[in-house]
Structures are given as C-alpha cells and as structure tokens.
Structure 1
C-alpha cells in the first residue's frame, strides 16, 4: 500500500482537493488579518520612521533604557538558574529517597511551591525582605524576583528530575545492584548520566520560562528589567509603544532562541558521546563495587 501509513490511509482525490481549498481559504484569511493590522498601525502613525528612528539612528535609547533593562533581566535570570537548578536536582533526588523522613518533607515542599503562582511568591518575597531584613529598597525587587523564581522553578525542576530518572528502565538499577553498587553509586554513575540527556529539553524549557517570568517583577514590583523599560522609553520618544514593544520582544526571542540553540547543541553532543544507552562506569566506581566483595 504505497502512500499509506500505519496511522492513516492515503487521501483520495476529493480529500486532497478539500485540503487545498482549506489551505487557500486559511491563507487568504491570514493575509487579510495581516493587512488589517498593518493598515491599523499605519493609520495611527505607529509605522512612521520617527517612531522607529531612536532604535536605528542612535545609541541613546539603547544605553539609557534597553541595555540597563537587559542587564537586570540577565542578572535575575542567571541568579535564579544558578540557584534553582541544583536545588531542583536536590529535591528531585530527595523525592526518590528510601527514607520517609527525607522523601515526605521534600514531597510536601515541592508540591506546595509548585502549586503557588510565581507572582504571589514574588510579592511574598518582597514583603518578607521588607519586614524582616535590612535589604535596601533599591535591591529589594531583585531579591524578591529571584526568590519567587527560585521557589517555583526549583519545584518544577525537581519534578523533571524525578520523572527523568523514573523513566529509565528498571533493568539499569537491577543490573547495578547485581554487581554490588550502592544506591549513591547507582544514581551518580548510571542513572543521572543517562537521565540528563532525556531531561535536557524539559529543563531548557523551564529555563526559558525563568527568563520570561522576570518581566513579572517589572510589572508588579517595579523591578527595572527589560520589559519595564518600555513605558518610560515610549513616553520619552513620543508614544512609540508598538516600536518599543517590538524591539523588546525581538530581544526576548533572541535570548530564548540562543538558550534553546545551545541546549540543542549540548544534547546532540551528549548523544554522540553515548553510542549506547548504557553508562560507562569509571574505574573507581567498579573498584568500589569489587571492594564490597560482590561477584559478577
């Protein structure tokens, strides 16, 4: 059956004609929508060169508004990633512990912070730093944004780590136990190296969320991040709101695209280094197993 698939049969002439008609109709509707948006913006003067000139004919808009906001966005995102990644891995492994006194508290913490919106965590963090610490009012928004992002995203990353490890075949653990490896050795030498490659796309998706969620601090806590620069910039340059939002949106797209591209490159590199699904044990790990008296 050429032209057929396991999932569906090949389309007949009527189905192909119908799909062509649907494609043409959708294309025309999309073109009409784009034209309507273009005409609306043009009629309101949002496409005039004067609105876009500050971003292409000088550096004032960049040095005064965009670059300082971008710097704060990168600082908040980087701090949140550096803290949330190891913390999420720690809680994810704790949820897999055989000890109830470790597993239950870790589960409660992860489920609690994963259920609360990140914006509420930021507001709570701001109030906490205001009432019980000596953090200055200038630094408080950054601390609050990082706190909210870390609490929420570390909980999500903990679930990603736990799910990635549980997705591995049980034979990996059973084979390691058969040669006498301890649970810590199994986790660090066999399970984690294999799970990292599988978890990488989900982890990167969460890191992209961290970058974007820094904008919540600018909207609520007056944190001077990239998106918060739009309002003063638009007011200063004559209500060029569309142009300002467009430039900021492009920067966010480039940031996240760079992050995902790096992650894709890293994933391909890791997969090339692992020609098989099995992890290669270091001599020290094997020697540790032999010292326990286990036989293969």
Structure 2
C-alpha cells in the first residue's frame, strides 16, 4: 500500500478507479446536457437577449428598485445580527449557569424560539406592533423582520455558545476553579474568549442565514433585495436576468462577510498565541540604563 494512503479510506483499486472515471464522465455529460436544455429554453423565451439586460445599464432602475432593496436587506441583517449575537450570548451563558432559576428559564426561551418558524414570528411581531402603534407605519415591516430574525437566530446562537463552551477541555474550568475564580469570572475571562475563536465559523454561517432570511420579509411588505428583483422582472419582463443580478449581489455580500470572518478568526488566533520561546523579543540597550558612553 502507498505511503500516502489515506487513513480514512482504502485507496481504490484499478476497477474502482475505472468505475469512478466512468461515473464522473456520465455525470459531466448529464450536467452539461441539462444546462444546455435550460439555456436553449431561456433563449427561446427571449430571457437572455441583450435587450433584457439593458435596463440594468440605466441609473433609474438601480435607484428605483435595486438600491432600496440592498439598503433594506443590509439594514435588517446588520441590526438583527447585532441583536441576535447579544441575545444569543446572554441566553447561552444563562443556560450554562449553575443556578437553576437562571438556567431553566433560558432553556425554555431557547427551545421555544427555535421551534417557532421565522415567518410566524415576523407576522406576529408585525401585527403586534401595528395593533399597539409601537412603530411608525413606514417602519413596521422592518421592525417585524428584525424581531423575527433576532428571536430565532438568538436562540440558535445560544445553542452554539453552549456547545462551544462544552467543547473546551475540562481542564480549563478546573484550572480556573483551582485559582479561586468564581463561575462568572472563569466564564468571562477564560472559557468564553477561547470558545469564541472555535465558534467563529459557525457564527458566520448563522450570520449568512440571517442575511438570506431577510427575503422572507416580503410576506409583510418589507422592501428587500429578492422582492425588488421580482419587481424589476415584473416591470421590465426580464425575471431571469433580474434574479441573476440579485443572486450575484447576494453572493458578493456573503463572500465579503465570510472573508471578514476568516480575517477576524486569524487575528484572534494570533493575538492569543504566546511568544515564541526560540525567538525572544530583542532587548534594547536603554533598558539596562546604559551611561553616556554606551557602556553599563
């Protein structure tokens, strides 16, 4: 057996490699054929002609439709992410509390809001705010979307926080207890900072979910990117180009968010890394109080 064989599975033999090549070739042919059929149908319907893309070269379309949708999506997502992170960390730490009076109410809240669909919470919050006139009418949809996204994703983030802290080596908590730190001090100074670094990829995935779930807000007349894309398709008769443009914009925003998270994760890991014992920091001469002649 080769020295580079994977420890997770056996290297395929000649027959298996031949079979894999055949399956790969068939899959590629099927995918290309389906893509060609879809492209031909769209060409027949006239959805991919140059005339259907021309409206996107005008400033009026972007100002009237696309940019308000982008602004609504980013506003709702940004506010919801901040509030969901705050609520999630609060509930997650509460579920880890040693006091049953704190732990059980937090568990009930988390399980309840995880079980309720996001759309139901958006609709309920929308009509609740409208009934009691808590927000101006032009902000009702935004408030409903933010409320639904915050409550649901806050509950999910709480479970992420709880799982991240439990995934840490047990010796971390035992060392903090041996140093005489109280539960709150060890959680704040030792456990949470380490858990955040390991949880960051999952947290970013949940933030992407928040960004995409803003599209559900069209049910309560919220102005967001997908709704505005369908409005463009209805106004100009170019549904496919409009949705392609919206999809590209969403991909760009999600890629930027993922890139920022990758950079932040690397920075956090470097900041917690101790100094290299083999390459100590240089000591300047002035640190020893040298005299005017440069000697000690």
1:149 equivalent to 2:131? Answer: no
**Structure with greater Cα Rg:** 2
Which residue of 1 is the match for residue 279 of structure 2?
A: none
SS at match of 1:138: helix
> For residue 165 of structure 2, what is the aligned residue in structure 1?
165
Deviation, structure 1 residue 8? 2.2
Count of matched residue positions in the alignment of Structure 1 and Structure 2: 273
Give runs of aligned pairs for residues 1-296 of structure 1, distance below 5 A.
Answer: 1-2=1-2, 3-55=4-56, 57-218=57-218, 220-237=219-236, 239-275=237-273
Distance in 2 (alpha carbons) for counterparts of 1:144 and 1:98:
34
Cα distance between partner residues in 2 of 1:142 and 1:5:
51
Deviations 1:132-184 (A, max 9, x none): 23423221101100010011010001110111001111100101111111212
CA RMSD of superposed structures (Å)? 1.2
Q: How far is the alpha carbon of 1:114 from its aligned partner? A: 0.6
Q: CA deviation at 1:268?
A: 1.5
Q: Distance in 2 between matches of 1:92 and 1:24?
A: 48
- Please list every run of 5 or more consecutive structure 2 residues that lacks an aligned counterpart in the other structure: 275-296
TM-score, normalised on structure 1? Answer: 0.90
Work out the CA distance in 1 between the residues paired with 2:166 and 2:235.
Answer: 54
How far apart are 1:261 and its partner, in Å? Answer: 1.0
Q: How many Å separate the matches in 2 of 1:42 and 1:192?
A: 55
Partners of 1:27 and 1:131 lie apart in 2 by 56
Per-residue deviation, 1:23? 0.8
CA distance in 2, matches of 1:30, 1:90: 47
1:286 aligns to what? none
* CA-CA distance at 1:275 after TM superposition: 2.8
Q: 1:95 offset after TM fit, Å? A: 0.4
TM-score, length of structure 2 as denominator length: 0.90
Question: C-alpha separation between the residues in 1 aligned to 2:220 and 2:261?
Answer: 31
Alpha-carbon distance, 1:90 to partner = 0.4
- Distance in 2 of aligned mates of 1:192 and 1:171: 14
What whole-Å deviation, never above 9, does each CA across 1:71-100 have from its counterpart, x for those lacking one? 011111111111111111000000011111
How far apart, in 1, do the equivalents of 2:234 and 2:13 lie?
58
1:215 and 1:227 map into 2 onto residues whose CA distance is 6
